[in-house]
Structures are given as C-alpha cells and as structure tokens.
Structure 1
C-alpha cells in the first residue's frame, strides 16, 4: 500500500450545531482545509504558490460522502487521504475522518481537476506534483485504481 497522508483536527464550537455535533457543511470546510494541507505538506505545492504564482486551482468536480457517526465538540478527528486515480489533469482521493477509537465518522471520495484559473479550463498537473502524488497511490493496482 502507498503512503497515507494524515493529520488531526479539533472539533471546535464553530463546527457544531445546537446539538453539539458537527453540522455537516462544516465537514466540507474541514475537508477543504485537509486538501490544502496535503498540497502544502504532502505535495510541496501550497495553495498560495498554486493560485497566485501558478494561476492554477483544483476545484472539486465530484464528491461522494457517507456520514457514519456524529463528531462532538472538543473531539480530535484524524483525517487520512489516499489517491485512487490519477489522470492528466484530474485525480481522485479517498478521505476518512475517524475518532480517537478509530471509528469512521465520515468517508469521502472526491475527484478534483487541475485548472488554469484564468481560463477555468483543465491543465496538466505539474510533473513534480504528479510524482509527489504517486506516493499516496496504492502499490498494487488490483483494486481497479489507475494512473493514466
């Protein structure tokens, strides 16, 4: 299996609804923060360099998620990311948020596309980013995943 990008996030008051659990749109903000962390810390292409100097972005083209258990104010969630598909300009990741006991709270499959932010058209991922991204791809291709 390839590397897994992982970090943690604390569930804050701003993330929660009146019941004291994460309000589902806040998970998407945490997901976007996590993708931004991965690009900076895992791929070496931070969003400031990508967007400002590189005139590139990685908007979400498709998102599937399953909420399996609530997360509560004050908890620390572990976020894990694996790459399941890499194309010329698009890539798919699987992300899992889990609690301290390892129980899944949220599972996401997300396809993002590298675009030129001036024309909003797809552009190839830079070679250095593709090389870094490949580290998070499974070593075995028996699960139907692919690198194109």
Structure 2
C-alpha cells in the first residue's frame, strides 16, 4: 500500500515516551500518535477539534490497525492521512505510517460528527469542502 498524492503528511521522531522497556513503540502510543495527527489535520483545514467540542464532538467509532514491522526509539516516522469516504454524518480516514520505505502501521478509522445531545449530525458543507482535497481518488 502506498499513500495517495492527496495525503496530509507529517513526520515525527519516536521518542522515549512512546516506547516500552525493549525500546519498541508500545502499540497504544501509536493510537495517541494517530489521534494527534487527526487533530493536526483538522487544525490545518480550519476546523480545530476544540471547535467540535463546543457543539458536540467527533468521536472515533471504529478502528482497524496493523503493525507489520516494529518501530524503535529514534526512528523517523512519516505519517500520511487521507479521506477514504465522507458520508452524511461520518467519515472514514486512512493513515499510513512508514519509516525507511517500510510500512510500520496502517490505520483506518470511522468518525461520526455528533451534536451536544450525542446524536449524529450532518457534516456542514464548508467542512465537507475543506476535507475534499484529501479525498482518495477512484483511480488511486
């Protein structure tokens, strides 16, 4: 798998705080890194997470992850995030994490926009439009 050209990209160094005693990234830390990347993505498109939380939230309701190779203390990771689908109230994102040309983690998550009553609500057109440049094309 490779990330499409439309992906939102960030790099990060594996720090001591991410590792277990064997100096491997402890898998729950990858989920923290993924959430950080998702928050950075929404900041970059003009919809910071704190804005969602003033009127509800955008919780993750389903996650799939794979860890084909370990990541170690000091590794440089390249994160690529793109939008797989945008529905009326939910969106599925994909994240590919690589280092030295090898996939270290693949991640797929579905998030639902909810109002302050906890019920799903539709994505505003402006948010949908801000996400569209990161949508995976059909021929990718």
TM-score normalised by length of structure 1:
0.87
CA offset at residue 74 of structure 1? 1.4
Q: 1:23 aligns with which of 1, 26, 29?
A: 26
Partner of 1:49: 51
Long gaps (5+) in structure 1: 144-148
Distance 2:24 2:18 in 1: 8
3-state SS in 2 of match to 1:111:
strand
Query: Does the 8 Å contact 1:2/1:139 carry over to 2?
Result: no
2:95 aligned with 1:92, yes or no? no
What secondary structure does 2:38 align onto? helix
Deviation at 1:71, TM superposition (A): 0.7
Question: Paired residues, what number?
Answer: 137
What CA distance in whole angstroms lies between the structure 2 residues aligned with 1:110 and 1:50? 18
Offset at 1:30? 0.3
Q: CA deviation at 1:68?
A: 0.7
User: Any gaps of 5 or more consecutive residues in structure 2?
Assistant: none
Paired residues for 1:52-131 under 5 Å: 52=54, 55-99=55-99, 101-116=100-115, 118-131=116-129
Q: 1:2: Cα distance to partner?
A: 6.1
CA distance in 2, matches of 1:37, 1:21: 24
Report the Cα distance in structure 2 between the residues aligned to 1:102 and 1:2, rounded to whole angstroms: 16
Q: Residue 56 of structure 2 contacts residue 117 of structure 2 at CA under 8 Å; is this kept in 1?
A: no
Q: Distance in 1 between matches of 2:136 and 2:26?
A: 32
Deviations 1:44-87 (A, max 9, x none): 101122223xx131111110011011111111211101111110
Once the two structures are overlaid, the 10-residue window that deviates more, 125-134 or 18-27, is: 125-134
**Of 15-24 and 67-76, the range deviating more from structure 2:** 67-76
Question: What TM-score, normalized by structure 2, do the two folds share?
Answer: 0.91
